[in-house]
Amino acid sequence: MDDAIVVLTNTPTRDHAQRIADALVDGALAAAVQVAGATTSTYVWRGRRRRSREWTCVIKSVRARLPEIERVIKAIHPYELPAIVALPVCGGSAEYLEWWLDRVAGGAAGTPRRPPE
């Protein structure tokens, strides 16, 4: 579990978020990606307060995959400076975390088990 991370990024469209999710799961860089939205983000960019409608990707992976995850996000993401934040996982269902780690640690060559029901 020490290696499990959740990576968050926000996109301006559902399509961008889904393209990121598909690329990460298909490339075995993420065990799963949830696309949530639309949400409203409020932030300062270039000296002005802004408000945008965005979709959030919740990416379940491992620390070792973070550089590749960043590369995929930046290749698809339309923002000049996409938010990419990784958070450690400090606990959870042992069976689910085992599936999660097996899925991304083994890469695309592994045959992942179904997530526990």
Q: Please indicate, yes or no, if residue 19 is contained in any of the structural domains.
A: yes
Question: What is the spatial distance between Cα 64 and Cα 15, in angstroms, rounded to a whole number?
Answer: 27
Q: Please indicate, yes or no, if residue 116 is contained in any of the structural domains.
A: no
Q: Please indicate, yes or no, if residue 98 is contained in any of the structural domains.
A: yes
Convert the pLDDT of each residue in 93-110 to its tens digit.
999 999 999 999 864 434
Better pLDDT: 117 or 29: 29
Q: Please indicate, yes or no, if residue 48 is contained in any of the structural domains.
A: yes
Residue 28 identity (one-letter amino acid): A
Q: Please indicate, yes or no, if residue 77 is contained in any of the structural domains.
A: yes
Q: Please indicate, yes or no, if residue 112 is contained in any of the structural domains.
A: no
Q: Please indicate, yes or no, if residue 110 is contained in any of the structural domains.
A: no
Convert the pLDDT of each residue in 55-74 to its tens digit.
999 999 999 999 999 999 99
Residue 32 reports pLDDT greater than 90: yes
Q: How many domains does the chain have?
A: 1
What domain range is 44 assigned to?
4-105
Both structure tokens of 109 = 């060559």
66-76 vs 14-26: helix axis angle to the nearest 10? 140
For the chain, give the percent of residues with pLDDT over 90: 85
What CATH number did the domain enclosing 77 receive?
3.30.70.120
